[in-house]
């Protein structure tokens, strides 16, 4: 594990504001590192890491926590004003000294796992100037966002000096290169871990009512539930033998309830949180009207359970779905395109089980059984 038996230190650095599926890759990889005897540092925002996750990590004596937060109330106000004044400060934060504490810990490698695809700007330079080796993993990329000219040079340097830059889809990698106008040669596509058995024999639901599950955070911006509800407001969908179940939680729950009432949707139900297996015991297929993504874990999980997806052509969706064969892809996150994809699926409703079987056979050729172990081995090669 290094010269003279020195225990290697790996720091996992996350900047997300709340726990989500995109956190599972670094978290599960960190647990493998702890089991293998590495010294592991965890940097997250104060309050982001759930107590249950903290407890899992605290089973090991070789874990150290660093909790970042805005330095004080004045810093928080400055952050908010800057972001209002100009989009160029979208990813600008002011922190207290916890990044400095993490640097003093002297990690041998840092994994910057951040929600956006732009290489943890402006945090990485703090570590780079201290000659600390690092990798990045970006979980989402937004077509509608372009970094401002003044931060692109720093973003390019962040990617250039990284040991490796990981993306969860080829589409996200290509979009990032387009956003910064630069080829990212030191890059690879990785897969996120999932929350169901890789090999399962989940039985197919009864076909009395055709049920679609919309699984994801209740958040119109990225997840696009408003697009789906507008499609379903058409008389034809109201009259069909179909039920749409929305699973999750989030800031737009009241907005979803409002649209269900506004459109008079009697066949749409808010189900809240449910386990993945329970969702696919009840539903025949996934509908995901996303405006932007990385590579949605819910699609992978649905396919592993023998359920196909109706989704939008954003990020990595088209990399794991063969349109009209093992799923249905809308050309863009717009009402008319999603309606068209749903119509194509509905016209073949008697084939749904067969299409789901094709989806399952296809996804296991693309996703490893233990993505976190594959990723851990990747990080080991960078030490």
Question: Above 60 in pLDDT, residue 71?
Answer: no
Q: Is the confidence at residue 91, as pLDDT, over 50? A: no
From the list 175, 162, 170, the residue with the least C-alpha distance to 190 is 170
What is the chain's length?
383
**Domain 3-193+369-380 and domain 210-363 have a common topology:** yes
- 160, pLDDT greater than 70: yes
Mean pLDDT (whole number) for 301-311: 98
- CATH assignment of 210-363, among 3.40.50.2000, 3.40.640.10, 3.40.190.10, 3.10.100.10: 3.40.50.2000
Considering Cα of 237, then 238, then 241, then 242, what sign does the dihedral take? Answer: positive
Could you write out the DSSP letters of every residue in 263-275? HT-TTEEEEE---
Residue 21: the pLDDT is: 76
Question: CA of 146: how far to CAs of 182, 185, 296, 334, 381, in Å?
Answer: 13, 20, 22, 21, 32
The dihedral built from the CA positions of residue 209, 214, 219 and 222, taken in this order, carries a sign that is: negative
- The whole-number pLDDT of residue 90 equals 42
Alpha carbons 93 and 122: distance in angstroms, whole number: 8
In which element (H, E) is residue 330 found?
strand 327-330
Cα 335-339-340 angle, rounded to 5 deg: 120
In the numeric block, which tokens belong to residue 35? 């089991």
pLDDT digits (tens, 9 = 90+) for 29-54: 999 999 999 999 999 887 888 999 99
Quote the percentage of the chain above a pLDDT of 70.
Answer: 90
Backbone angles phi and psi of 109, in degrees to 5: -155, 140
Q: Which tens digit of pLDDT belongs to each residue from 101-119?
A: 899 999 999 999 987 777 5
Closest CA to 333 of 321, 317, 344, 347: 317
pLDDT at 183 over 90: yes
What are the Cα distances from residue 170, in Å, to 140, 151, 194, 242, 271? Answer: 11, 23, 19, 34, 33
Give the pLDDT confidence score for residue 319 in this predicted structure: 95
**168 pairs with which residues across the strands?**
none
**100: confidence class by pLDDT, cuts 50, 70, 90:** confident
Q: How confident is the model at residue 93 (pLDDT cuts 50, 70, 90)?
A: very low
What pLDDT score was predicted for residue 94? 45
Question: pTM for this one?
Answer: 0.86
**Which of 106-110, 117-121, 196-200, 312-316 is predicted with the least confidence, judged by mean pLDDT?**
117-121
Tell me what pLDDT residue 92 has: 43
With 80 as the cut, is the pLDDT of residue 257 above it? yes
Domain ranges, ordered by start, for the chain: 3-193+369-380, 210-363
| Mean pLDDT of all residues in 191-214 | 94
Q: Which fold, 3-193+369-380?
A: Rossmann fold (3.40.50)
- Among the ranges given (138-147, 164-173, 271-280), the one the predictor scored with the smallest mean pLDDT: 138-147
Calculate Rg over the CA atoms of the chain.
22
pLDDT at 74: 57
What pLDDT shows up at residue 279?
Answer: 98
3-class SS at 121?
A: coil
pLDDT value, residue 20: 77
Hey, is 58 helix, strand or coil?
coil
pLDDT for res 5: 63
């Amino acid at each position: 594990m290094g010269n003279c038996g020195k225990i290697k230190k790996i720091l996992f650095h996350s900047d997300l504001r709340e726990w989500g599926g995109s956190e599972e890759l670094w978290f599960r990889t960190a647990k493998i590192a702890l089991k293998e005897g590495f010294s592991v540092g965890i940097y997250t925002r104060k309050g982001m890491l759930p107590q249950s996750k903290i407890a899992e990590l605290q089973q090991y004596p070789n874990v150290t926590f660093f909790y970042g937060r805005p330095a004080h109330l004045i810093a928080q106000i400055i952050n908010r004003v800057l972001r209002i004044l100009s989009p160029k400060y979208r990813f600008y934060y002011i922190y207290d000294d916890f990044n400095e504490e993490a640097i003093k810990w002297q990690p041998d490698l840092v994994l910057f796992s951040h929600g956006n695809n732009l290489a943890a700007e402006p945090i990485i330079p703090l570590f780079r100037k201290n000659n600390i080796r690092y990798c990045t993993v970006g979980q989402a990329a937004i077509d509608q966002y372009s970094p401002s000219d003044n931060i692109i040079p720093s973003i390019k340097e962040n990617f250039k000096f990284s040991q490796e830059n990981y993306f969860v889809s080829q589409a996200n990698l290509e979009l990032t290169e387009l956003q910064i106008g630069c080829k990212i040669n030191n890059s690879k596509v990785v897969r996120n871990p999932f929350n169901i058995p890789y090999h399962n024999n989940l039985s197919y639901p009864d076909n009395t009512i055709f049920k679609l599950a919309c699984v994801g955070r209740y958040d119109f911006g990225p997840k696009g539930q408003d697009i789906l509800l507008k499609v379903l407001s058409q008389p034809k969908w109201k009259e069909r033998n179909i039920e749409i179940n929305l699973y999750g939680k989030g800031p737009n729950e009241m907005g979803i309830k409002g649209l269900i009432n506004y459109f008079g949707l009697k066949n749409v139900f808010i189900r809240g949180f449910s386990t993945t297996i329970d969702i696919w015991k009840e539903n025949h297929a996934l509908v995901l009207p996303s405006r932007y993504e990385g590579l949605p874990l819910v699609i992978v999980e649905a396919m592993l359970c023998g359920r196909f997806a109706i989704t939008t052509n954003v990020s990595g969706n088209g990399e794991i779905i063969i349109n009209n064969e093992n799923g249905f892809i809308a050309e863009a996150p717009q009402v008319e395109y999603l309606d068209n994809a749903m119509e194509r699926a509905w016209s073949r409703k008697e084939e749904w089980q067969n299409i789901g079987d094709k989806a399952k056979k296809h996804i296991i050729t693309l996703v490893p059984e233990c993505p976190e172990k594959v990723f851990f081995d990747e990080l080991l090669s960078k030490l």
